[in-house]
């Protein structure tokens, strides 16, 4: 039987997806459920919050760097031993690799996995227009399974209730709660997104507080029911991990989280963004150029299977 799964998406970035997702995971764990967290896209900061909330490593689901079959297989592997899967979207619900098609978007991931979408709307500056906004998201892609709305940053209880009425009237879908403005749950941001958990104090208290707020303001039992209500999809065969040679000191390779499996999961595509080299080389163009030159030499060599590490003299890639 397919594992129940929900995808928490947003109208845009910055609407509280990570906080709400972490709080929802915490609330579900209090019900005795083993929750497997996921994050859409190649984000590596948000998953640390979801890992802390779930007590299980958060995995990335990316339909831009992986084929649909590889992504689904990754989902299947990670869900072993879990009771339910909670997926955090990326940016806005329909935002993907381009402006005109869905690849890489949260909506694309949801459709491939047969996940029900919970759409978070920031209603801090909305009234009846919240209904128009919600209706647009529902009608934009009728093939998407949009299950309910979650409101955030309501100015008051009456404001949240009014926006919920407008949304339900316009869309026919339920609003499963409205979260008032909670300054104590604010997650600071900077140029690459949220501040990493290693750089903030009181993480455990934040996670617990998020869970309590979700329990108070959202209808968690209804969310569980929605997750269990139809999540059929066609599974695929397991995809063998791509073997990769690597320097153990490399800063840009992410290890598998499986405690008893030291292998690395690699992406079977030639996109350097898959290993976040763009982050490490962004301020060091000279180092990036030397790296690319060395890769080209290795690729051109038909008689060597040596890794980049073996072809680069010690210290040669140490930039200023």
Cα separation values, 242 from 239, 261, 262, Å: 9, 14, 13
Alpha helices by DSSP H, 33-124: 46-54, 68-78, 106-113
Q: What confidence category does residue 261 fall into, taking pLDDT thresholds of 50, 70 and 90?
A: very low
Domain extent at residue 212: 5-228
pLDDT in tens, 85-118: 999 999 999 999 899 999 999 999 999 999 999 9
CB 83 within 8 A of CB 20: no
- On whether both 122 and 196 belong to a single domain, the answer is yes
Residue 287 sits in the same domain as residue 200: no
CB atoms within 10 A of CB 320: 5
Which pairs count as long-range contacts for 37-40, CB under 8 Å and 24+ apart, including other chains? Answer: 37/85, 37/86, 37/87, 37/88, 38/75, 38/78, 38/85, 38/86, 38/87, 38/88, 39/87, 39/88, 39/90, 40/7, 40/87, 40/88, 40/89, 40/90, 40/105, 40/106, 40/109
Does residue 25 sit in the same domain as residue 139? Answer: yes
Q: Quick one: average pLDDT of 157-164? A: 96
Q: Are residues 215 and 250 in the same domain?
A: no
Q: What is the pLDDT of residues 239-260, one digit of tens each?
A: 444 454 545 444 444 444 544 4
Query: Helix H segments across 172-259?
Result: 203-217, 220-228
Q: What is the CATH number of the domain that holds 16?
A: 3.40.50.300
In this structure, what DSSP letter does residue 16 have?
S
Q: Are residues 198 and 249 in the same domain?
A: no
Q: What is the pLDDT of residue 248?
A: 47
User: 251 and 278: one domain?
Assistant: yes
DSSP letters, 155-168, are SSHHHHHHHHHHHH
Burial grade of 36 (CB within 10 A; 0-12, 13-18, 19 or more): buried
Question: On the CB side of 320, how many CA atoms lie within 13 Å of its CA?
Answer: 2
The whole-number pLDDT of residue 278 equals 53
Write down the pTM of the prediction: 0.72
| Same domain membership, residue 126 and residue 54 | yes
Between these two residues, 201 and 143, which has the higher pLDDT value? 143
Task: Count structural domains, the chain.
Answer: 2
CA distance 222 to 66: 33
Whether 169 and 282 share a structural domain: no
Q: Is residue 204 part of a domain?
A: yes
Determine the Cα–Cα distance for residues 184 and 271; give it in Å rounded to an integer: 39
Cα dihedral 273, 276, 279, 285 in deg (nearest 10) = -60
Kindly tell me if the per-residue pLDDT of 36 is higher than 90. yes
């Amino acid at each position: 039987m397919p594992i129940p799964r929900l995808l928490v998406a947003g109208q845009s970035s910055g609407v509280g997806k990570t906080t709400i997702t972490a709080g929802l995971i915490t609330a579900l764990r209090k019900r005795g459920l083993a929750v497997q967290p996921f994050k859409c896209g190649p984000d590596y900061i948000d998953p640390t919050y979801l890992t802390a909330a779930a007590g299980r490593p958060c995995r990335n689901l990316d339909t831009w760097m992986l084929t649909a079959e590889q992504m689904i297989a990754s989902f299947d592997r990670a869900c072993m031993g879990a009771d339910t899967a909670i997926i955090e979207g990326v940016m806005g619900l329909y935002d993907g690799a381009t402006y005109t098609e869905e690849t890489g978007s949260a909506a694309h991931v949801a459709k491939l996995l047969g996940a029900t979408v919970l759409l978070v709307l920031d209603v801090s500056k909305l009234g009846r227009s919240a209904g128009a906004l919600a209706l647009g998201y529902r009608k934009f892609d009728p093939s998407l399974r949009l299950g309910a709305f979650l409101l955030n940053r309501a100015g008051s209880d009456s404001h949240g209730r009014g926006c919920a009425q407008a949304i339900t009237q316009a869309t026919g879908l339920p609003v499963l709660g409205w979260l008032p403005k909670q300054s104590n749950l604010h997650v600071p941001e900077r140029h690459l997104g949220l501040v990493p958990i290693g750089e903030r104090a009181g993480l455990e208290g934040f996670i617990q507080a998020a869970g309590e707020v979700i329990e108070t303001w959202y209808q968690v039992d209804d969310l569980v029911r929605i997750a269990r209500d139809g999540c059929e999809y066609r599974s695929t065969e397991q995809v063998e991990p791509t073997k990769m040679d690597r320097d153990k000191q490399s800063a840009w390779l992410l290890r598998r989280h499986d405690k008893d499996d030291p292998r690395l999961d690699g992406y079977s595509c030639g996109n350097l963004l898959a290993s976040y080299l763009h982050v490490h080389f962004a301020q060091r163009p000279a180092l990036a150029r030397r790296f690319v030159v060395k890769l080209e030499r290795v690729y051109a060599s038909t008689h060597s299977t040596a890794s980049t590490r073996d072809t680069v003299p010690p210290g040669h890639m140490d930039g200023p």
